[in-house]
Structure 1
Amino acid sequence: MTMMRSSSSSSSTLSLLKSCKTLRNLEQVHALIIRKGSEQDHVLVTEFISICNSISPKHVTYASTVFDRVLQPNIYLWNNLLKCHCTHSSMATSINFFKRMKQSCYVAADKYTFPSLVKACSRVLALREGQVVHGLIVKYGTEFDVFVGSSLVDLYGKCGEIVNARKVFDEMLVRNEVTWTSMIVGYLKIGDHLEAKKLFDEMPQRNVFSWNVMINGFVKSGDLVSARVLFDEMPDKSMVTFDTLIDGYAKSGDMVSARSLFDQSPEKDIVSWSALISGYAQNGQPKEAVKVFNDMLSRNVKPDEYVMVSLMSASAQAGDWELAKWVDYYLSECSIDLGQNHIAAARVDMHAKCGNLERAATLFEKMPTRDLISYCSMIQGLSVHGHAVRAVALFQRMLAEGLTPDYAAFTIILSACSHADLVDEGCHFFDCMINEYSLAPLTDHYACIVSLLGRAGRLKEAYDILKELPMELHAGAWGSLLWACRVHGDVSLGKEVAGRLFKIEPQNAANYVLLSDIYAASNQWSDVNDVRNQMNEKGIRKLRGCSWL
């Protein structure tokens, strides 16, 4: 009778444990376990640790304290807490707990011990530690277990050790879908799509996950044709599969295929909506992005932060002030956390590019942390809308705050200086880029500095920069200098620059027209005729709307 009452009590406590949803519930049941003297009940403590782990990963320490009160924990208890550590704690903590388990005289590691430990190594790509665990797996004789073997294949595949992964795979007596898929993932990681596809075709059984892995592999490699062939062959298409391919088409710029597949999907989740909106925004079709967003709202689909970032990007590209204000209002009314840095940066970028600089500045100053991207968005907005002096001041403030500018940041500030004829400032930043930040200027940077010097009439300096470069700069920089020669009437240099451009762009009529204009401005009409004759001989036609004078 006593045993029956004890069993009944344990069963009711177990039921209470399984119903726990919060830490407070768990603490109440824990108090009940202590009051009933059930702290040594392995079944209850095992379930307690599992529930503790499921409620929140932060409670691993709490679970550990309960475990530590068990005098002789069995292997199930050890494995359960080890799994918690491997999922939520650091790899070092997990390994130390495993060492403690090894030192226990009551239990020995079994086939349920090692998969969690190997996964902990996989998560941080700890190959050396994983190899040590592999040695212990062999020592304990658990290497032929399908779950242990699958975890090892996953480890070696993720670490790029494809030969070792394949060796483990080939030596396994039993393989399941996870094993096959892990091996395929390993091949995809190193870019061996042929071997991955070969293995995929050999799979005795395929599940939705294995199909998705293979399709995703082709999408990431840019092989959308092979991805679509697999997609069409897939017997049961999941929403994840649709999302993967829609996103792939959108990122490649094929919005027709992306939209067609989107319309075919049986149920559209937030990921597919986001992929389509983002695709239209990134491919220069902001109005289409807005249409899709409105369609989404009409179907009572609640946008998430990623959708809103995509919509803000579309608004910024369109430069639509009214749309930007509406998006900003919508954001203020929804439940999205506006304090997140990527949301705040997108809002600044949207308002800056739409010309609402005061609103952009207000949001910029309210940001909890301002990174390089948010600074560049604000600087570019100021520059584009004619506030180059403020842009320069903000760039200097960014440097003073210790942020390190990258290539894009220097392109933005040099462009701002060029458009506003801030010669001294532009030359200073160009020198800083090379001497202080050890960045070798790219063609865009040279184009900016050449344009800046040319507009200021410092044509020889600009020409010296171009002709001393080790690489053939793109035509834009030479074209900018040729335009400056026309503005400042430098016939001799204009002839030299035009000669360079004729080699780079032999069929570009604009270069011939500019040279002709330079000759015409100095009354060298015979040279104007020579240029015209060269164009006729080469079959180059003057662009409509260009004047010879």
Structure 2
Amino acid sequence: MIHKVTTDAHMNLIRRYSSACLDPLPSTLSSAYTASILSLLKRCKTIRSLEQVHPHIIHKGCEQDPFLITQFLSLCIALSSDLSYPTAVFERAIQPNIYLWNTLLKGYCRHSSLVNSFSLFNRMKKSTNASPDKYTFPPLINKCANVLALREGRILHGSIVRCGIETDVYVGSSLVDFYGKCKEIECSRKMFDIMPVRNEVSWTAMLVGYLNVGEALEAKNLFDKMTNRNLASWNAMISGFVRFSDLRSARELFNEMPVKNAISYTTMINGYAKAGAMVSARMLFEQSDEKDIVSWSALISGYAQNGQPSEAIQMFYRMQCRSVKSDEFTMVSLMSACSQLGCLELAKIIDSYMHQSSFDLKRVQVAAALIDMNAKCGNMDRASTLFEQMPTHDVISYCSMIQGLSIHGSGPQAVALFERMLKEGLVPDTTAFTVILTACSHAGLIKEGCHYFDSMVNEFSLEPSPDQYACLIDLLGRSGKLKDAYDILKSMPVKPHAGAWGALLGACKLHCDLELGEEVACRLIELEPLNAGNYVLLSDIYAAANKWLDVSLLRLKIREKGLKKIPGCSWI
């Protein structure tokens, strides 16, 4: 059943003016009034202005004019996602024709659910004066494609065959796109092959379908066969290469493009950013003539993700100077950059800006980024307030708070918050376990950390990552179980990184285990031959054992290699 989105306010407005409606006008006068009202409609830019024109339509007896009402519905749907008004207007039509039905159905497919869209479609099929045509099905098929509703899409395909319009270029293209998005690539290709006429949309839909199932070679072969390529097909192929990390092919294709737009540049900027090539990303950004919010956001996000927070903030400032309005994605990247800097003053400015602007602070990603920024910048009270104000919590927001507590030395509180998350029924992922294991490691909570590692493997069936193994080794090392830690290190199913070896070497220093310390240091120096800190740790172990000759020889080796220990620093 179609949902009743018609509001009392709109129905009362229509009834009030209908009750005062004059008798129908002669056809010559009606045509003149229709033309004048169409002229008024062209000037309408808001729903409010449409509501002001609507009484004129009713008073002039044009409420049943199908052409005029179709134009009116199209404007309603274009100006607002609220379907109450266009539905109320449609319900007043005594005998809505196929154009009215298709217009409202297009609005439902764009702004409502699949269930409501199908309900309206079923109503149309039961009507006596309208039968589905080639303009009815593409919006419905696209709706099914967007929500991956394979079963419903196949039902529509059956209706299309019965109507005899399967080979229409627009209907066929929508079916090719639908099957491609649902990863039914054989059905998509079969549909593509039976089309007697194909346009750029058909070819691009098939190309995107191949890319969606990972068949980049088939996509490229199809692309090479295209005689008429539009911007969408070029951008789709470049996006496919970027997705498969083939930046060389993407750049070659990008250079061949006869015309480029903001999407072309942004796709390449994203690709370079993900590969860590921020110099190339910045060069392309500067070359682009169309710098929209998406391209600015891609560059700012790239800097933040690649550990260049100062550059991210500089680009945001430059964007603001150009009067480009920021969106939530840009602000999340900016908050990430601020978190990396740990600058409390900047965090307060961004927090204030977020609350004064029209951003939806209840969105999970935005709220989690705000919490993470305040926590990492030292404002735990503010982070806690934001966390408790959230209507619902998820694993991401919990991780932000737990990590903040861990950074500021509140290990027991971090553990308590993790337990609260479990009691709420949330299932921790591998990131959540990395966060809590790190918190236990930093706070020396050996029993709790070992418990969570066992829980991760045995209760939640997660494969430990090298970082999580490093946390376990650090915990065992701190508790003096050096042999157990070393055995785990040697038996890891994945290759241990330097952090794991470094944790064990630090434990050897803590417990003055010279023999194991020498062995671990040799492995660590093989992995990081230019890290002076490893030599210094081994030197400290020698010093604790009063082996001063070894200390002297090791320090001599450090000088010969020209190594310098990087001094530690703190924001406190």
Q: 1:307 deviation in Å?
A: 2.3
Q: Flag the 1:101–1:437 CA change in 2: closer, same or farther, 3 A.
A: same
Moved more, 514-523 or 407-416: 514-523
Moved more, 466-475 or 283-292: 466-475
The aligned length equals: 537
TM-score (norm 2): 0.82
Which residue identity is paired with 1:457?
G
State the distance in 2 between where 1:129 and 1:333 align.
Answer: 44
The answer to whether the 8 Å contact 1:513/1:542 transfers is no
Structure 1: which 5+ runs fail to align? none
The answer to whether the 8 Å contact 1:453/1:461 transfers is yes
Are 1:45 and 2:62 matched, yes or no?
no
Q: Flag the 1:92–1:312 CA change in 2: closer, same or farther, 3 A.
A: closer
Matching residue of 1:236 = 259
Q: Flag the 1:352–1:187 CA change in 2: closer, same or farther, 3 A.
A: same
The answer to whether the 8 Å contact 1:502/1:511 transfers is no
Q: Flag the 1:366–1:143 CA change in 2: closer, same or farther, 3 A.
A: closer
Which residue identity is paired with 2:77?
N
Q: Choose from 148, 152, 173 the match for 1:125.
A: 148
Matching residue of 1:12 = 36
Matching residue of 1:321 = 344
State the distance in 2 between where 1:545 and 1:257 align.
Answer: 31
Q: Flag the 1:371–1:521 CA change in 2: closer, same or farther, 3 A.
A: same
Cα deviation digits, residues 432-462 of structure 1 (max 9, x gap): 4345544444333332233223223244554
Q: Choose from 169, 185, 194 the match for 1:171.
A: 194
Identity %: 59
State the distance in 1 between where 2:277 and 2:564 align.
Answer: 34
State the distance in 2 between where 1:71 and 1:257 align.
Answer: 61
State the distance in 2 between where 1:157 and 1:255 align.
Answer: 33
Which residue identity is paired with 2:245?
G
Q: 1:475 deviation in Å?
A: 5.7
Which residue identity is paired with 2:162?
K
Q: Flag the 1:374–1:111 CA change in 2: closer, same or farther, 3 A.
A: closer
Are 1:354 and 2:377 matched, yes or no?
yes
State the distance in 1 between where 2:378 and 2:251 align.
Answer: 42
Matching residue of 2:293 = 270
Are 1:426 and 2:449 matched, yes or no?
yes
Matching residue of 2:312 = 289
State the distance in 2 between where 1:164 and 1:407 align.
Answer: 37
Q: 1:483 deviation in Å?
A: 3.8
Matching residue of 1:56 = 80
Moved more, 137-146 or 244-253: 137-146
Moved more, 119-128 or 179-188: 119-128
Structure 2: which 5+ runs fail to align? 1-24, 566-572
The answer to whether the 8 Å contact 1:475/1:501 transfers is no
Cα deviation digits, residues 302-331 of structure 1 (max 9, x gap): 433322222221121122334334434444
Q: 1:76 deviation in Å?
A: 2.1
Are 1:394 and 2:423 matched, yes or no?
no
Q: Flag the 1:227–1:522 CA change in 2: closer, same or farther, 3 A.
A: closer
State the distance in 2 between where 1:399 and 1:221 align.
Answer: 36
Q: 1:287 deviation in Å?
A: 1.8
Cα deviation digits, residues 140-181 of structure 1 (max 9, x gap): 222232111211211122122222222222222222221121
Matching residue of 2:27 = 3
Q: Flag the 1:206–1:31 CA change in 2: closer, same or farther, 3 A.
A: same
SS of 1:173's equivalent in the other structure is coil
Q: Choose from 406, 428, 445 the match for 2:429.
A: 406
Matching residue of 2:4 = none
State the distance in 2 between where 1:7 and 1:429 align.
Answer: 77
SS of 1:222's equivalent in the other structure is coil
Matching residue of 2:328 = 305
The answer to whether the 8 Å contact 1:447/1:476 transfers is yes
Q: Flag the 1:208–1:355 CA change in 2: closer, same or farther, 3 A.
A: same
Moved more, 136-145 or 63-72: 63-72
State the distance in 2 between where 1:332 and 1:98 align.
Answer: 42
State the distance in 2 between where 1:163 and 1:78 align.
Answer: 33
Q: 1:99 deviation in Å?
A: 3.1
